Amino acid sequence: MCGIVGYTGLDAVEPILLQGLEKLEYRGYDSAGVGLLRGNSIEVTRASGKLSNLASKFENENSEPGTGIGHTRWATHGAPTSENAHPHQDPSGRVAIVHNGIVENWKELRAKFATGEFSSDTDSEVLAHMIAALLAQGESLVSAVRRTLNEAAGAFSLVILDSSQPDVLIAARKGNAGGLVVGLADDGTYVASDMSALLTYTRKFFFLEPGEIATLKPSSVTIYSEEGREVTRQPYQATHDLTEVGKGQYPHYMMKEIYEQSDVLVSSLQGRYNGLSNTIDLSTEFEGSAISKDRIQGITRCLLVGMGTSMHACMVGRHYLERFGGIPTEVDNAAEFRYRRPLLDSNTLVISVTQSGETVDTLAAMDEAKRADCLQITICNTPGAQSTRLADLSLLLGAGAEISVASTKTLLASIMALHAVSLFLGKARETLTSEIEAEQVVNALQLPSAVSTVLGNSEKLFEVARKYAASEHFLFLGRGLGYPVALEGALKLKEVSYIHAEGYSAGEMKHGPIALVNDAMPTVAVCTRGDVHEKMLSNVEQIKARGGRVISLVTDGDDSFDKLADDCITLPDVDPALGPIPSIVALQLLAYGIARERGLDIDQPRNLAKTVTVE
Ligand code: F6R
C-alpha cells in the first residue's frame, strides 16, 4: 500500500526520493509523486501509473541538495489519477503532506478546516488544509500536527513539509496503519514507510510508535510522545542486508519465489530441527523472552491471528498446536477478532502470523492482546517490523524478500515455524512424547526434497493449467489439513488469474456449494493420504455424479482416483501432518500456470497491495 519517503540533508534529494520509492514499489501502488523544497516554495510533481512515469518528468532536471517528500499511492478515496496522487498541498502552497492510511472523518474536517477549494477527491488533502490553517493561527508546526492527529479519526502515517521551514520535515503516526522509520546518516536524515527504502543510505534507525511526532533536521531528530514529552530512545542498528533481488532466469518473481521454496524449507529447518538427535530446539529463541518455562506451563489456550494467506498458515498451525502442543487453539481472522470483544487473559498465548509485520488488522489484534496482557509470539519475515516490536517473542522466517504480491514462500516458512513452535511447546509442557517429536523431526527433514519433487513435476501442472485456463469459475475442496490448503488454492488462483474461485471444506459441499457444480466449474480436490482420504473419495464421487470435472491432488502410489478424476496430480508421500506443504506448492504452480496462460500481470495483480496498511 502507500509508501512514504522523505529526506533533509546535504545530498541531492530527488534521486534519494525516487530510489526510495522504487524500493517501496513492492507494497503495491497506482500513482506516485514528490514534493521538493525549492527556495521558499514547494514544487510538487505527480503522475498516475508506474513510478517510471514520475521519474521521466525529472529526466532533464538538475538534482539539488535539500528537503523533500515522496509517495506511492494505493487508491482508497478517489481514482488513481495524478490529481489524487500525493503530495497534497493547502491552497496557498505553504504546506505539503504525504499520507498513508485513512482519515475516517475527512468530510467533517473538510467542512471545518477548508482554507479554500479542494483539488482532489482524497481523504488526505484536508490534512494539508488543517495544518496550514493552524499555522496561520500562530501555532508551531509540531503543535499544528499534534492537533491534526487529535482531530483526525482513523489510523495513519504522515510526513509534512512547511515551505517557511526549509530544513525541517515532520513525521507523525496515529494508530497502526503503516509504520514510519527515521534513518540517521552523516549526510542527512531520512524517513520512510519501512527500512527497505533506506538501507542503502543508513543502518541506524528510530521507529516511530503510534501517537509520536518527530522533527527531522539535516543532522538531528527529536521525537515527541503522544503527550508531547521529548522521547529518548536508543537507535536500532540494522544488521540485515538489503538483498538486491532480481528475477534471475525466471519470467516472474512469483515463479522465482515458488522455485525457491525447497531452499526456504532448508533454512526454516536449520537451527530448529536437529537431525542427529531427532529433537526440536527453540530454546535460544525463547531464552530471555517473557515466555519463560513457567509461563509456558500456565498457558490455557492459544489464539492464532492473521489475514489472507497468513491466516491459512494459522489454520494449519491450529492442528499442530492442538496435536503436538497439547493446547486448545482457535484461529481468528485478525480483522474480525478486534471487533468481537474477545475474552482474553494473561494465560492466553496469541500467535500472530504476518509476512510483512505491518498488516493493520493483525497489528490491531496484537494491540487488543497486549491490552489483555496475553503472551505474544509473532511469526514474521521482516526484521524490525511493527509486529516484532509488539510481541514478546519474534520467530523470524528468514525466507528472504518476497516481491510477488501473492505470497508463496513465506506461507511454507510460516507453517514450518508453527510446526516447530508446537513441538517445542508440547515438549516444554511435557505433553509431547519423544517418539512423536522424533517422528515429526525426521518427517519434516524430508520436506525440502519432497518440494523439489513437486517443482520437478511442474510441467504436468502447467499442462493441467493450460487445459483449464479458460474456466471462469473454480471450486477448491479439502478436509482436515486439506481445508486450509483448499482455501489457499482458491485465494492464489483468484489473486493472480482473476478467476472466481471458492474454497470450501469438502464436508460443507452438500450444504450449498454443490448447487454450483456443472461441467463449467472444475473442482480441485485435495485428496492426499490421511484420515479423511475416504471422505474425499466420496465427495469426488458426488461431484462426478453431477457432471463436474475434477482435478485431484493424490499421494504417489494411490490409484483410487485414477478412474474417477479427470486429472490427477501426483504428490510425494509425506507424513499426512505435513501434507499441506507439497499440496500448497502444487496449487501455487497451478494458479501461476493459469495466470501465465491468460497473460496477466502476475507479480502485481490489479487492485492488490503487498502490505495492507488500511482497514
Ligand atoms: C495473499 C497475500 C495476502 C497476505 C495478507 C497478510 O497472497 O499475500 O493475503 O497474506 O495480506 O499479509 P501479511 O502476511 O503481510 O500480514
What is the per-residue pLDDT across 18-64, written as a single tens digit (0 to 9) for each?
999 999 988 888 999 999 998 889 999 999 998 999 999 988 777 78
- Residue 477: inside a domain: yes
Ligand 1 centroid distance, CA of 301 (Å): 25
Q: Tell me the C-alpha distance between 264 and 568, whole Å.
A: 27
Which one, of 509, 91, 447, lies nearest residue 269 by Cα?
Answer: 447
d(CA 554, CA 571): 6
Residue 332 lies in a domain: yes
Give yes or no: 370 in active site: no
- Where helices occur in 137-220 by DSSP H, the ranges are 141-151
Q: Would residue 242 count as lying in a domain?
A: no
pTM, to two decimals: 0.85
Same domain, 400 and 379: yes
* Rounded mean pLDDT, 393-407: 93
pLDDT at residue 1 tops 80: no
Name the helix (H) or strand (E) containing 161: strand 154-162
Q: Is 53 left (phi over 0), alpha (psi -120 to 50) or beta?
A: alpha
Shared-domain flag, residues 489 and 469: yes
Q: Is the CB of 359 under 6 A from ligand 1?
A: yes
Measure CA 220 to chain center.
32
Ligand 1 contact via 570 beta carbon (within 6 Å): no
Establish if 323 belongs to a structural domain.
yes
Ligand 1 atom closest to the CA of 307, numbered from 1: 6
Least confident of 137-141, 234-238, 599-603: 234-238
From 176, 310, 362, 611, the mutation candidate for ligand 1 (largest count of ligand atoms within 8 A of CB) is 310
Ligand 1: centre distance to CA 86 (Å): 25
Please say whether the beta carbons of 148 and 127 come within 8 A. Answer: yes
- Asked if residue 302 has its Cβ within 6 Å of ligand 1, the reply is no
The conformation of residue 338, written as its DSSP 8-state character, comes to T
Together in a domain, 412 and 465: no
Whether residue 243 lies inside any domain: the answer is no
Task: DSSP letter for 195, please.
Answer: G
pLDDT at 323: 97
Distance CA 67, CA 13 (A): 6
Nearest of 33, 149, 18, 124 to residue 87 by alpha carbon: 33
Which position has the grid cell 482497514?
Answer: 615
Q: For 441-458, what is each residue's pLDDT tens digit?
A: 999 999 999 999 999 999
Would you say the CB of residue 387 lies under 6 angstroms from ligand 1? no
From 388, 421, 445, the end of a domain falls on 445
| 350 Cβ contact list (under 8 Å, min separation 6) | 302, 303, 304, 305, 344, 365, 366, 369, 374, 375, 376, 377
Q: What is the CATH number of the domain that holds 534?
A: 3.40.50.10490
Question: Cα(411) to centroid of ligand 1, in Å?
Answer: 9
Residue 559 falls within a domain, yes or no?
yes
**For 217-235, what is the mean pLDDT?**
93
Q: What is the DSSP letter of 276?
A: T
Active site residue 2: yes
My answer on whether 149 and 59 are in the same domain is: yes
Q: Given this model, what pLDDT does residue 244 score?
A: 55
**CATH number of the domain within which 45 lies:** 3.60.20.10
**Range 301-329 average pLDDT:** 98
Which of 2, 302, 380, 527 does the annotation list as catalytic? Answer: 2
Q: Which of 389, 420, 445 is the last residue of a domain?
A: 445
Q: Do 292 and 230 have their domain in common?
A: no
For residue 102, pLDDT beyond 90: no
Return the SS3 of 534. Answer: helix
Cβ–Cβ under 8 Å, residues 91 and 109: no
Q: What is the predicted pLDDT for the residue at 243?
A: 58
Which of the two residues, 159 and 65, has the higher pLDDT score? Answer: 159
Do 440 and 460 lie in a common domain? no
Do the strands 41-48 and 65-73 form a parallel or antiparallel pair, or are they unpaired? unpaired
155 and 129 in one domain? yes
Distance 406 CA to ligand 1 centre (A): 7
Q: Is the CB of 314 under 6 A from ligand 1?
A: no
Task: Kindly compute the dihedral angle of the four CA atoms of residues 355, 360, 364, 370, in this order, to the nearest 10 degrees.
Answer: 40
The full 3-state SS of 441-462, as one line of letters, equals HHHHCCHHHHHHHHHHCHHHHH
Residue 228 and residue 80 share a domain: yes
Q: What is the mean pLDDT of residues 522-539?
A: 96
Task: Examine residue 107 and state whether it is found in any structural domain, yes or no.
Answer: yes
CA-closest candidate to residue 158, choices 112, 114, 117, 102: 102
Same domain for 286 and 201: no
pLDDT reading at 240 higher than 90: no
Task: Identify whether residues 44 and 157 lie together within a single domain.
Answer: yes
Query: Looking at the predicted structure, is the pLDDT value of residue 572 above 90?
Result: yes
Residue 94: pLDDT above 60? yes
Of 445, 478, 493, which residue sits at a domain end?
445
pLDDT digits (tens, 9 = 90+) for 365-383: 999 999 999 999 999 999 8
Find, among 562, 472, 489, the residue nearest to 524 by Cα. Answer: 489
Distance, in Å, from the CA atom of 608 to the CA atom of 590, rounded to the nearest integer, reads 20
Q: Is residue 603 part of a domain?
A: no
Task: Report the separation in Å between the CA atom of 585 and the middle of ligand 1, taken as the mean of its atom positions.
Answer: 16
Mutation pick for ligand 1 pocket among 311, 359, 404 (CB with most ligand atoms within 8 Å): 359
Pair (417, 461) in one structural domain: no
Q: How many domains does the chain divide into?
A: 3
Residues 287, 264: one domain? yes
- Residue 245 is predicted with a pLDDT of 59
Range of the domain at 408: 253-445
